């Protein structure tokens, strides 16, 4: 028997875990061939992140989705032959499949069938480390699974008979659905408690100016956070290497400190249930006074990535927030003329390389300038006989301290310029 430390033994173990996959994309005349290829390349990256080795990629051209087999029965039969010839165990589709399509494809191809959402959820499940992330992923998986029980658990769908089963009864699949719904309710309650605990923990940070890093997955957000703050966050050339938000402080001047938070990366066709489940993690985006939108400028599809992130921010009601577009990985850019293009097209933008430390001082200067223009710290004296006014200030500003002296209270606060002017007018009146 080989020792566990034997490299050949470990190689054999690893080879068992890697599944051979075939990827299927679909396009119509409105989708350029190059775009369809880029989408399938991204699916290959997802498959690699999940631990699959892609052997074949197929783009099926058809104007309408087949309701029974998605790609049509004839094409499905071709794929059945390919997986048999190439000893492929996994067929992954770049679109979401309905339960009927999955069931029909599994019967015809006789292999494991996975759609894009199922693949992304699998990756999130394998990367979830904290209690919050695990809860969020499980919730999303159950919500994804619920309508698909008909194909996943068909062996449980027959009603039992015999002694002790007389009466109204219910099919096993109905029982399973009810159990899953109950579990979903419990997970939602658990997430509410976690979110409440986070609010309590973050209370000491209330007086700080907050910045949130967002971007398409693998754009280099964690690398930038590490460079700015020395956070030591995991950085890997894999999709969704970071699931939990990480917050660190950055000094930008005398007595001026900002908090920067990294977040989970976004991606095209991110499953809706996943976005909904991760909203508590994404609270750092909603609480931010400024968003740093990190973009991989070396990626040919970077403008599509910008749109995906902007659309996701809109879904989170964060699309109106102040934003700096940070075009990262300029050191990997072959066409340098693209630098002038993005700087002219996108306002409040900067081109950097987080890996090489290029233009980072300029980015820090932009953060300091934004702080100066949009954030004010001051002290005001108010009569203690005006509790309603004091309470109003607490809702409009981050109150750092309150000191009482006879009939006056001195409130030390920090807020944005607009609220500062409102507070000044309220105090005068």
Q: 290-343 pLDDT, tens per residue?
A: 999 999 999 989 999 999 999 989 988 888 889 999 999 999 998 889 999 999
pLDDT at 376 over 90: no
* Domain ranges within the chain, ordered by starting residue: 7-114, 207-373, 375-428
Residue 220 C-alpha from the chain's centroid: 14
Class of domain 7-114: alpha beta
Give me the long-range contacts of 384-393 (CB less than 8 A, separation at least 24). Answer: 384/408, 384/409, 389/426, 389/427, 392/426, 393/423, 393/426
pLDDT by residue (tens digit) across 147-186? Answer: 776 544 444 444 444 433 334 445 666 777 888 889 989 9
252 three-class SS? strand
* DSSP one-letter code for 429: -
Q: Which class is 207-373 in CATH?
A: alpha beta
pLDDT tens-digit map of 194-248:
877 766 555 545 557 889 999 998 899 989 999 998 866 656 666 666 666 788 8
Q: Taking the complete model, does pTM exceed 0.85, yes or no?
A: no
**Kind and range of the H or E element at 187?**
helix 172-202
pLDDT, averaged across the chain: 83
Q: Where are the alpha helices (DSSP H) in 230-301?
A: 272-277, 283-286
The domains spanning 7-114 and 207-373 adopt the same CATH topology: yes
Lowest mean pLDDT among 43-47, 133-137, 199-203: 199-203
Q: Measure CA of the first residue to CA of the last residue in the chain; give whole Å.
A: 86
């Amino acid at each position: 028997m080989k020792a566990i430390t034997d490299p050949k033994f470990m190689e054999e173990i690893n080879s068992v875990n890697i599944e051979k996959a075939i990827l299927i994309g679909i396009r119509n005349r409105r989708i350029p061939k190059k775009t369809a290829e880029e989408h399938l390349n991204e699916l290959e990256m997802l498959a690699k992140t999940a631990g699959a080795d892609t052997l074949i990629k197929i783009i099926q051209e058809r104007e309408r989705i087949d309701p029974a087999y998605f790609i049509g029965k004839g094409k499905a039969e071709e794929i059945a032959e390919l997986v048999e010839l190439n000893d492929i165990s996994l067929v992954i589709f770049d679109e979401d499949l309905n339960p009927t399509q999955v069931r029909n494809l599994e019967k015809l191809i006789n292999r494991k069938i996975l759609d894009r959402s199922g693949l992304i959820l699998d990756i999130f499940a394998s990367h979830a480390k904290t209690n919050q992330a695990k809860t969020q992923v499980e919730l999303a998986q159950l919500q994804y699974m619920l309508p698909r029980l008909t194909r996943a658990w068909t062996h449980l769908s027959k009603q039992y008979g015999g002694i002790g089963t007389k009466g109204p009864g219910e099919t096993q699949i109905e029982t399973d659905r009810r159990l899953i719904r109950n579990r979903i309710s419990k997970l939602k309650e658990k997430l509410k408690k976690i979110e409440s605990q986070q609010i309590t923990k973050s209370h000491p940070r209330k007086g700080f100016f907050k910045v949130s890093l967002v971007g398409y997955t693998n754009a280099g957000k964690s690398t930038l956070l590490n460079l700015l703050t020395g956070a030591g966050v995991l950085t890997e050339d894999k999709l969704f290497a970071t699931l939990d938000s990480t917050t660190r402080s950055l000094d930008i001047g005398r007595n001026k400190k900002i908090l920067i938070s990294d977040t989970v990366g976004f991606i095209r066709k991110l499953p809706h249930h996943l976005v909904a489940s991760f909203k508590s993690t994404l609270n750092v985006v909603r609480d931010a006074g400024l968003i740093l939108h990190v973009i991989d400028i070396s990626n040919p599809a970077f403008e599509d990535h910008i749109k995906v992130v902007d659309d996701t921010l809109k879904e989170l009601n964060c699309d109106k927030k102040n934003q700096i577009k940070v075009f990262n990985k300029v050191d990997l850019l072959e066409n340098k003329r693209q630098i002038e293009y993005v700087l002219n097209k996108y306002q409040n933008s900067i081109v950097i390389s987080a890996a090489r430390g290029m233009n980072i001082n300029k980015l820090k200067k932009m953060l300091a300038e934004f702080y100066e223009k949009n954030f004010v710290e001051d002290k005001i004296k108010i009569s203690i006989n005006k509790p309603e006014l004091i309470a109003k200030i607490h809702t409009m500003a981050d109150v750092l301290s309150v000191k009482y002296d006879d009939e006056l209270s001195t409130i030390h606060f920090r807020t944005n310029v607009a609220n500062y002017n409102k507070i000044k007018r309220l105090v005068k009146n």
